[in-house]
Amino acid sequence: MTTKMAINAKELFRNQHRLIRIIEQSIRMCSNQSLNAAQQQKLQQQKPQLDTDFKITKSIASKLITAAPEPIVHDEEVGQQFSASSLSVRLAMPQQLQPKPDIDDELGFGKLFTDHMLKIYYHKSLGGWQKPEITPLENLVMHPAAKVLHYAVELFEGMKAYRGVDGKIRIFRPDMNMHRMNLAAKRSGLPTFEGEEFIKCLCRLLSIDSEWVPHTEAASLYIRPTLIGIDPTLGVAASDSALLYTILSPVGSYFKSDSTGAVSLLADPSYTRAWPGGAGNRKMGSNYAPTINVQKEASRKGLQQVLWLYGDDHQLTEVGTMNIFMLFVNEKGEKELRTPPLNGLILPGITRDSILALARQWGQFKVTEDIFTMPDIKHLLNEGRLLELFGTGTACVVSPINRISYLGEDLYIPTMEQEKPIHETIRETLMDIQYGKVEHPWAVTID
Ligand SMILES: Cc1ncc(COP(=O)(O)O)c(C=O)c1O
């Protein structure tokens, strides 16, 4: 081979990802069009049934049904905010690009990462937040005294980007994630930031790594915004330096379930996840490490998740990393959907909030935010009034529960035995919004 040929071959090799990307895009454009057509056809076929039966999917299309969260008020000492207009981008070299997974079913959760990440440093000594940057995905370098490594000065969010039936990429209620993240920052003594500016930077990251958003409804691109205190000092005090970064990971389904799709739970009142005055209502890493061994114990007993109880009356608070909902027939004979209140013991889930808003809008059953206990569950089961129990969260949308192991008893929950389960309607409705099958203000399209 001549030197010139060798150079050409090298160039071709280097740029093969671009060629593959163009071919992939063309194939996907075609498959999206046929997917779209198939979807339209399916919707047409289903239409009479929706009209006469359950009008839920239709009624979500037009109205803005919950207000945006209150704007965050920054403490004066936080200093300057960052702006998306000063975002810089350093793209990965062709040889740094990772192959994208072929089979969406084998993705698992959080095992693969995209080619780029977003980083925004905060240094009080330099006046506050610095300029945001997108860089190739790379290891972080920090001092061994960094506060995150000693006192878990860390918080995060969990969001997803969905590729809709129209090929467009959408994220779901990002303002809610930003609000929750800023509340956690306040609680951790970390600097707060302008959520809207962050979302603009995130959208740019998503458009750079857009080909990583799976082309299937069985998968999505998980977004993990993270804020850590990196001040290299050992005092238990507010961190004067911080890093807000975001990584992206294509994901399949999060939870293992049985063949029916339902999960079984360990409810052991000797463990608790959160307590009044604690920080269980904030998404901080320090809330999750102590749950891992309990989850292992559940797995050893052949159970899939932990049901977190609180108090002498064994209140149900959360299930695994999900909020919990119960559908039952109340004393008055009415159907009621109930979830625990935001009393500091549970994370204010965005899926939870969305379900409450939708269910209230549907008006098909009573909707309450109130405490319920394990004795309540047993009582309702005895009287045949417990209909469904399910967990909710970004990772899985809705996860039905069919068994609870509680104080030596196995309680069978008839969630999967309902003729028209509400949790199914909820899942379909939320996924219709997330995957762009219906227009909805909760779904924000990435340009
Ligand atoms: C403890 C806990 N509860 C509930 C949720 C569900 O919250 P969301 O619906 O915002 O994903 C999560 C997931 O992030 C969680 O970690």
Best of 109, 322, 352 to mutate for ligand 1, by most ligand atoms within 8 A of CB? 322
Alpha carbon of 56 to ligand 1 centroid (Å): 24
User: What spacing in Å lies between the alpha carbon of 254 and ligand 1's midpoint?
Assistant: 13
Give the per-residue pLDDT at 109.
Answer: 86
Per-residue CA distances from 229 to 1, 166, 286, 419 (Å) = 54, 40, 13, 50
pLDDT at 70: 84
CA gap 169, 213 in Å, rounded:
8
What pLDDT score does 105 carry? 58
317 close to 370: Cβ distance less than 8 angstroms:
no
Residue closest via CA to ligand 1's atom 1 equals 321
Q: What angle do CA 396, 400, 403 make, to 5 degrees?
A: 130
pLDDT tens over the chain, length 447 residues = 455 555 455 454 444 444 445 554 544 443 344 344 444 444 444 433 322 233 334 344 444 456 678 888 999 999 999 999 999 999 999 999 998 887 655 788 898 999 999 999 999 999 999 999 999 999 999 999 999 999 999 999 999 999 999 999 999 999 999 999 999 999 999 999 999 999 999 999 999 999 999 998 889 999 999 999 999 999 999 999 999 999 999 998 655 566 678 999 999 999 999 999 999 999 999 999 999 999 999 999 999 999 999 999 999 999 999 999 999 999 999 999 999 999 999 999 999 999 999 999 999 999 999 999 999 999 999 999 999 999 999 999 999 999 999 999 999 999 999 999 999 999 999 999 999 999 999 999 997
Indicate which residue's Cα is closest to atom 4 of ligand 1.
322
Q: Residue 408 C-alpha to ligand 1 middle, in angstroms?
A: 28
Spell out which residues line ligand 1, taking CB within 6 angstroms: 158, 318, 321-323, 347, 349-352, 393-394
Please compute, for residue 215, the number of CA atoms within 13 A of its CA located in the half-sphere on the CB side: 20
**Residue 374 alpha carbon to ligand 1 centre in Å:** 21
Residues 6 or more apart in contact with residue 238 via CB below 8 angstroms? 189, 190, 229
Residue 351 CA: nearest ligand 1 atom is: 9
- Candidate from 394, 396, 434 with most ligand 1 atoms within 8 A of CB, to mutate: 394
pTM: 0.87
Cα–Cα distance between 363 and 56 in angstroms, integer? 10
Other Cβ atoms less than 10 A from the Cβ of 307: the count is 29
Cβ contacts of residue 54 below 8 Å, gap of 6+? 364, 420, 425
Q: Kindly give the distance from the C-alpha atom of residue 296 to the centroid of ligand 1, in angstroms, as a whole number.
A: 19
Distance CA 350, CA 394 (A): 8
Which residue has its alpha carbon closest to ligand 1 atom 5?
322
